[in-house]
């Protein structure tokens, strides 16, 4: 059963003048019904009662499945094309064969335009081979 909390104040302005706008069946968590309250001071409408914060990951996973393997900031990071190309070019044992947008390889010219390539390429493929000495 989903644990919930009933707010006695607005989560935005902390006003205590709350008005019940509606009560509806809870199809998401199947915990009965949920209400929508409106703050009489700032007019924010919010779910009340609402799931406690610790329950939110379970609720999310129930709807969207388990968390993805590559979470941004943990195993997935923003990498820019310009600095990456520079890094590869500085490696004496590597030779770049081609650089192209992963999903639009025919638009290869985009990767030659600094700035544009960072936003228009989305994913970049750098084909590299070991330089024969
Ligand atoms: Zn308020």
CA dist., res. 59 & res. 2, Å (int):
8
Residue 16 sits at the vertex; the CA angle it makes with 43 and 12, to the nearest 5 degrees, is 50
If you measure from the C-alpha of residue 57 to the centroid of ligand 1, how many angstroms do you get, rounded to a whole number?
26
Task: Give the mean model confidence (pLDDT) for residues 101-116.
Answer: 94
pLDDT digits (tens, 9 = 90+) for 43-62: 999 999 998 999 888 888 88
Cα-to-centroid distance, 17 and ligand 1 (Å): 8
Tokens of 122: 């989305």
Q: Residue 49: name the closest of 6, 9, 12 by CA.
A: 6
User: How many angstroms separate the alpha carbon of residue 37 from the centre of ligand 1?
Assistant: 10
Report residue 87 CA to chain centroid gap.
28
> φ and ψ at 92, to 5 degrees?
-65, -25
| Residue 101 scores a pLDDT above 90 | yes
Q: How would residue 31 be classed by pLDDT, with cut points 50, 70 and 90?
A: low
What residues pack around ion ligand 1 (CB closer than 5 A)? 10, 12-13, 15, 39, 41-42, 44
- Provide the edge-to-edge strand list for the sheet that holds 18-25: 18-25, 33-39, 45-47
Structure pTM? 0.50
Dist. CA 75 → ligand 1 center (Å): 38
Q: Residue 128 forms beta bridges with which residues?
A: 96
Q: For the segment 60-86, what is each residue's pLDDT rounded down to a tens digit?
A: 888 888 887 888 888 888 899 999 999
What separation in Å is there between the alpha carbon of 3 and the centre of ligand 1?
24
């Amino acid at each position: 059963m989903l644990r919930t909390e009933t707010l006695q104040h607005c989560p935005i302005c902390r006003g205590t003048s709350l008005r019940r706008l509606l009560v509806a069946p809870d199809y998401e968590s199947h915990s009965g019904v949920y209400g929508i309250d409106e703050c009489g001071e700032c007019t924010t409408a919010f779910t009340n009662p609402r799931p406690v914060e610790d329950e939110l990951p379970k609720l999310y996973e129930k709807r969207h499945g388990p968390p993805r393997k590559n979470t941004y900031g943990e195993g997935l990071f923003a990498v820019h094309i310009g600095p990456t190309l520079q890094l590869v070019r500085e490696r004496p044992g590597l030779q770049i064969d081609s650089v192209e947008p992963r999903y639009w390889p025919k638009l290869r010219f985009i990767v030659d335009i600094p700035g544009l390539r960072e936003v228009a390429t989305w994913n970049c493929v750098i084909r590299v081979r070991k330089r024969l000495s």
